[in-house]
Chains A and B, each alone.
Chain A
Amino acid sequence: MLLVLVRRVGNMVPTLAAVIALIFVLFSVIPGSFMSGLGDDGRTMDPAVMERMRKEMGLDQPLLERFVKYAGATLVGDLGTSFRTREPVTKLIAGRLWPSLKLTMAAMLVAMAIGIPLGFVAALRPGSLVDTVSMVGAVSGLSLPKFWLGLLLMYFFALQLKWLPSFGYGDGGLTHLILPAIALGVSPLALLARTTRAAVLDVLNADFVRTARSKGMSERRVVTWHVMRNALVLVVTTVGLQFGSLMGQAVVVEKLFSWPGLGSLLVDSVFQRDIPAVQGCILVFVLFFLVINTLVDLAYVAIDPRIRYG
C-alpha cells in the first residue's frame, strides 16, 4: 500500500509541472491584461497608471524570467500576489477553499447517497418500474444544465415553497448549502446510478455468482458478499473521477448561488486577467483531482487485494 502511495505521489510531480507550465504560457500569450481589464466597464484607463501597474506586477519582465520566478516560488508554496487584491494568492485560496470543499463534498454525498442505492436496486430488478423510472431520471439528470437546474431549485424551494434561501453562504450552515449541493450533485448522481446499475448487472451474470447461488448461498449473502464487493471497483472509479472533477465543475453553481468558493474566484480572475490567482486556482483544482485519484487507487487495493500496480 505504501509503495502504491509513493509511486502515485511520484507520478503527480510531472503532471503538476506540466500544468504549471501550460497555465503560465497560456495566460501569458492570450490577449488582454489586468490593466486593460480594469477599463472594461467603460472607464478609460490612464496609460501612465497602467504602465506603473505593469511594473508593479512584474509584467514588464521577459516571459522566461517571469516563468523561472513563478516556478521557483510555486515549488516553495508561494503562488504569488493577486493583481486584483494585492494580497498573497495563498491567502485568497485559503479563504475560498473550505466553502468549495464543503460544496463539493455535499454534492458528492447527495450523489452517492442516492445514486448508488438507486443503481443497485435498478440492477436487481431490471425492467421493473423502479429500473425504468430511475434510468429515465438518470438520463434527465445527466442532460440538465446546472445553471437551469439551479434556477429551477431556486424557483421552487425558495420562491414558491419558501423552505430555503435562494442564494448566499449565510453563516455556512446547512440551509444555504442544500440547493447548490443538489444542483451540483444531480449530474454525478445520475452517472453513478447508471454506472452502478451496469456494474451490478455485469457481476450478477458472472460465473462466480452463479456458482455461489448453485452452492445454496442465500440471495442476500450473494448480493452483499459477491456482487457488491465486485461491483464496487467500477463504482469507486466513477466516484473518484466525479469527485475529482466536481470542484472544477462547481464554477457555474457557485456563481449562480453567490457561493464564495474557488470557482467564482477563478471566473472573476480569468475575466480580469488576474493571472496569479488563475494559476493558483487551477493548480488547486488539478491537485485536488490528483489527490482524489490517488486515494481511489489506494481504495482499489483495499477493496480487491488481487489488484497490483506494476
Chain B
Amino acid sequence: MKKLMWLTAVAVAVVGFGAAEAQQTPQTQTPRKGGTVRMTAPYGGSLTSLDIHTSPRAQDDIAGKILHRTLYNWDSAKAQPALELAKEVAVSGDGMVYTYKLLDNAYFHNGRRMTADDIIWSYTRIMDPTKGFPGARYVRFIKGAVDVEKGAAKEISGLRKIDDFTVEMTLAERVNPGLLFFVGVTAILPKEEVEKGNFNSNPVGLGPFKFVEHVPGSRLVTERWEKFYKPGKPYADKVIVLIMGEAAARDVAFRNKEIDTSILGPVQYVAYMADPVLSKGILEVAEMFTRSMVMNQASIKPFQDKRVRQAINHAIDAELIVKRLAKDKAYRAASWLPSSSPAFDKAMKPYAFDPEKAKKLLAEAGYPNGFEFEWTTSPNESWGLPIVEAVLPMLNRVGIKAKPKLIETTVLTETAMKGTFEAYIGSNVTGPDSLATLKCFHSKTPRTACNYTAFNNAEFDKTLDAAGQAADPEKQLELIRTANAILYDEAPVWFFNYNKAVMAYQPWLHGLQANPTELAHQYPEELWVDERSPVK
C-alpha cells in the first residue's frame, strides 16, 4: 500500500516552488577532501549556454557558479553581497566611486592570473552594442557604460585601471554595486578564451571547478581547480550537474541515491516531509520571488480604484490556497518585498480574508454588483491556472467575475510588457535589490521596463526617489520600508505568496547554503561529501 501511495505521488509530481525559513546544514564536522558532488539542474531539459554572459536563466547559473566567478558573491548567512574577486574596496564620500583591490591569486582555468584588465574587458563586452547581453542592465550603472551600449564609445569611462590589481569604478547613480555584480551574467571571463570562438563548448573561468565535459541535455562534468584562490577549497574532486527537468524522475533518482540534491515541488515536499528519513535532509529558504495577480490599471477602470484592489485582496482566502494547493510550500505575502528582504517589515500582516469587507469596499467604490475582467494565466501549478481556478469562486462570491485566459509561460513576460492583459498571475523576482524591485511601481518606469500595473502614486514616487538619494544605508532602508508599506495600502496587485524553495539533500552532503536569491545556486567550493557517499 505504501508503495502504491508512493507511486501515486510520483505520478502526479511536477516541478514547483514555494517560500520561507532558512536552514543551514550542520557544520560541526571537519570537511573531507575528495569525492564527487552530484547536483541537479531542475529547470528544464538543458543548459542554455556555458558562456554565462549570454544567459540570465537560473538553470544556467547553476553551472555558472561552478565554472565562473563574479566580483561579488551572495553571502547567504549575512543576507548581503560579499566581495569575492577583491580583497578590499574603498568607497568615496559621495558613494559614487569604488576602488577595488583585486585578488592577486585568482587564476583562470587556463593558468593565467586575473587582472584589472579582465574586469574592464568583461564589463565592456557585456555592453557590446551589437549583442544582447543580459548583464547590460547591471553594468549600465557604471558611468559611461551607456555610451558603449549606444556605440558612442569603445571604453567604459567609469572603469579605470590603476594598476594590475586595482580598478576604480565610478557609478552613474548611487547604488550598491554588490547587488549588481554578484549576478552570474556579470562574471569575469578571460578575453583570450572567449575570442577563440568556441567558449560555449570550452568554457574557462575563475570558478572552483574547471570544465571537463558537457553532454547537452544530460550532464556537465567539472573537476577541482587546483589553483582556486580560496585556501583548502574546493573540497570535492568533482562536481557533476545532472540535468533533470522532470520532478518525478528526480524523485526516483534521489531515492535511488543517484543524485545528491533535488529541488522539490509541492507534492514531493509533502511526501518528503512525511518520510522519517527524507525529512532529515530538507533545506528550505524564503526565496526572493513574489507571486501575485497584477492588475492593469490602464485597461480596467475598476482597478484604478484603490478600494477595488483592496477588496480583491480581502476577497481571496490566500491562506487556504497556500495550505491546500501550495501544500504549505509558500509563505503568505504581505506586500511586494519578500520576507527575506532586509526592508521587509515583520510587523506587516497580510490582508485578512474578509469577504464582507470586500463587498463593502466594492460598494464604496461604486461597484456594488461587482464587475468582470479577463485573468491571464500560465499553466504553472504554483502560480498559474490551478490557483486561478481556486480563486474564481471566491471572487464570484463578492460579485467579481473573472474569466481565465490560458497562455504559455513563455508568453507571459511578453504579455506583461505589451500590456495586453487586464490582469495576470505570475511570479516576479523581488530581490535582493529592494530599491530596484520597488522601482517597478515608480510612475516614471515604463511598462516595458516592469511597471506592468501602470501604477502611479506621487507619494510612492517621492518616497522611492528619496530612498535613491539617501546616502545613509539605514535611512535608505527605512524609506524603502515606507514605500513598501504604501504599496501594501495601495494594493496594486493581489499579494499571493512568497516562494518557499525546498531542496532535498543526501545525508552525506554538507556545506549547502540557504541562498534566498535562488536555492539551486550553490557555491560549490563549500560543498563536501563524507565517506557515506556512494560515489568515490
Residues in A lying within 8 Å of B, measured CB to CB: 31-33, 35-56, 84-87, 92, 95-96, 148, 150-152, 154-155, 158-159, 162, 165-169, 254-261, 264-265, 267-268, 271-273
With a CB–CB cut-off of 8 A, which chain A residues contact B413? 36-40, 45
With a CB–CB cut-off of 8 A, which chain B residues contact A155? 7, 10, 252
Asked whether B132 lies within 8 Å of A151 as measured between CB atoms, the reply is no
B57 within 8 A of A: yes
Asked whether A92 lies within 8 Å of B216 as measured between CB atoms, the reply is yes
Asked whether A40 lies within 8 Å of B409 as measured between CB atoms, the reply is yes
A279 to chain B, nearest CB (A): 17
Q: A40-B410, A56-B132 are in contact. Are A151 and B216 (CB under 8 A)?
A: no
B388 within 8 A of A: no
B110 within 8 A of A: no
Asked whether B58 lies within 8 Å of A52 as measured between CB atoms, the reply is no
Asked whether B217 lies within 8 Å of A52 as measured between CB atoms, the reply is no
12 A-B Cβ contacts within 8 A? Answer: A33-B414, A35-B132, A38-B134, A39-B413, A46-B136, A47-B448, A56-B130, A159-B252, A168-B219, A258-B217, A258-B246, A271-B44
Point out the residue from B57, B216, B414 that lies within 8 Å of A32, measured CB to CB.
B414
Q: Interface size on B (CB < 8 Å)?
A: 63
Point out the residue from A38, A48, A96, A154 that lies within 8 Å of B57, measured CB to CB.
A38
Further pairs besides A166-B249, A258-B242: 16, Cβ < 8 Å = A40-B413, A41-B43, A44-B440, A45-B134, A47-B417, A47-B446, A49-B134, A55-B132, A86-B54, A87-B201, A92-B216, A151-B248, A155-B252, A167-B252, A169-B215, A272-B48
With a CB–CB cut-off of 8 A, which chain B residues contact A167? 242, 244, 249, 252-253, 258
Assembled-state Cα–Cα distance A271/B54 (Å): 18
Between B134, B149, B428, the greatest number of chain A beta carbons within 10 A of the residue's beta carbon is seen for B134
Asked whether B427 lies within 8 Å of A42 as measured between CB atoms, the reply is yes
B213 to chain A, nearest CB (A): 10
Interface string of B33-52 (1 = CB under 8 A from A): 00000000001111011010
Query: Considering the complex of A and B, which 7 residue pairs feature the smallest CB-CB distances, nearest first?
Result: A53-B132, A36-B414, A260-B217, A39-B413, A32-B411, A52-B132, A46-B137
B440 to chain A, nearest CB (A): 7
Asked whether A254 lies within 8 Å of B217 as measured between CB atoms, the reply is yes
Asked whether A258 lies within 8 Å of B244 as measured between CB atoms, the reply is yes
B:239-256 near A, CB below 8 Å:
242-246, 248-249, 252-253, 255-256
Asked whether B218 lies within 8 Å of A154 as measured between CB atoms, the reply is no
B432 within 8 A of A: no
Asked whether B217 lies within 8 Å of A259 as measured between CB atoms, the reply is yes
Between A43, A84, A265, the greatest number of chain B beta carbons within 10 A of the residue's beta carbon is seen for A43
Asked whether B200 lies within 8 Å of A31 as measured between CB atoms, the reply is no
Assembled-state Cα–Cα distance A33/B411 (Å): 7
Asked whether A52 lies within 8 Å of B410 as measured between CB atoms, the reply is no
With a CB–CB cut-off of 8 A, which chain A residues contact B134? 38, 45-46, 49
Point out the residue from A46, A47, A165, A255 that lies within 8 Å of B45, measured CB to CB.
A255
Assembled-state Cα–Cα distance A272/B59 (Å): 13
B412 within 8 A of A: yes
Assembled-state Cα–Cα distance A159/B259 (Å): 13
Q: A265-B217, A268-B44 are in contact. Are A258 and B243 (CB under 8 A)?
A: yes
B507 within 8 A of A: no
With a CB–CB cut-off of 8 A, which chain B residues contact A166? 249, 252-253, 256, 258
With a CB–CB cut-off of 8 A, which chain A residues contact B242? 167-168, 258
Asked whether A49 lies within 8 Å of B137 as measured between CB atoms, the reply is yes
Interface string of B400-437 (1 = CB under 8 A from A): 00000001111111110100000000111100000000
B517 to chain A, nearest CB (A): 11
Assembled-state Cα–Cα distance A31/B429 (Å): 23
With a CB–CB cut-off of 8 A, which chain B residues contact A54? 132
Q: A32-B414, A36-B417, A84-B55 are in contact. Are A265 and B258 (CB under 8 A)?
A: no
Number of A-B residue pairs, CB cutoff 8 Å, is 183
Asked whether A49 lies within 8 Å of B414 as measured between CB atoms, the reply is no
B391 within 8 A of A: no
With a CB–CB cut-off of 8 A, which chain B residues contact A148? 11
Asked whether B58 lies within 8 Å of A41 as measured between CB atoms, the reply is yes
Shortest Cβ distance from A53 into B: residue: B132
Asked whether B49 lies within 8 Å of A31 as measured between CB atoms, the reply is no
Asked whether B136 lies within 8 Å of A49 as measured between CB atoms, the reply is yes
Assembled-state Cα–Cα distance A36/B428 (Å): 14
B138 to chain A, nearest CB (A): 9
Asked whether A264 lies within 8 Å of B46 as measured between CB atoms, the reply is yes
A247 to chain B, nearest CB (A): 15
Q: A41-B43, A168-B218, A268-B44 are in contact. Are A50 and B132 (CB under 8 A)?
A: yes
Asked whether A87 lies within 8 Å of B7 as measured between CB atoms, the reply is no
B430 to chain A, nearest CB (A): 9
Assembled-state Cα–Cα distance A273/B132 (Å): 16
With a CB–CB cut-off of 8 A, which chain A residues contact B255? 159
Q: A42-B426, A166-B252 are in contact. Are A32 and B217 (CB under 8 A)?
A: no
A170 to chain B, nearest CB (A): 9
Shortest Cβ distance from B13 into A: residue: A151
Point out the residue from B51, B56, B243 that lies within 8 Å of A38, measured CB to CB.
B56
Assembled-state Cα–Cα distance A158/B248 (Å): 14
B363 to chain A, nearest CB (A): 35
Between A38, A169, A273, the greatest number of chain B beta carbons within 10 A of the residue's beta carbon is seen for A38
Asked whether A96 lies within 8 Å of B200 as measured between CB atoms, the reply is no
With a CB–CB cut-off of 8 A, which chain B residues contact A257? 249
Assembled-state Cα–Cα distance A40/B426 (Å): 9
B441 to chain A, nearest CB (A): 12
Between B137, B216, B407, B450, the greatest number of chain A beta carbons within 10 A of the residue's beta carbon is seen for B216
Asked whether A52 lies within 8 Å of B256 as measured between CB atoms, the reply is no
Shortest Cβ distance from B446 into A: residue: A47
Asked whether B410 lies within 8 Å of A42 as measured between CB atoms, the reply is no
With a CB–CB cut-off of 8 A, which chain A residues contact B137? 46, 48-49
Shortest Cβ distance from A91 into B: residue: B201
Point out the residue from A48, A87, A260 that lies within 8 Å of B215, measured CB to CB.
A260
With a CB–CB cut-off of 8 A, which chain B residues contact A42? 289, 426-429
With a CB–CB cut-off of 8 A, which chain A residues contact B426? 42
With a CB–CB cut-off of 8 A, which chain A residues contact B201? 87
B126 to chain A, nearest CB (A): 10
Assembled-state Cα–Cα distance A158/B259 (Å): 13
Asked whether B131 lies within 8 Å of A46 as measured between CB atoms, the reply is no
Asked whether B428 lies within 8 Å of A271 as measured between CB atoms, the reply is no
A72 to chain B, nearest CB (A): 23
Point out the residue from A45, A52, A272 that lies within 8 Å of B129, measured CB to CB.
A52
Assembled-state Cα–Cα distance A203/B215 (Å): 48
Point out the residue from B7, B129, B245, B414 that lies within 8 Å of A31, measured CB to CB.
B414
With a CB–CB cut-off of 8 A, which chain B residues contact A150? 249
Point out the residue from A43, A258, A259, A260 that lies within 8 Å of B429, measured CB to CB.
A43
Point out the residue from A37, A48, A84, A162 that lies within 8 Å of B136, measured CB to CB.
A48
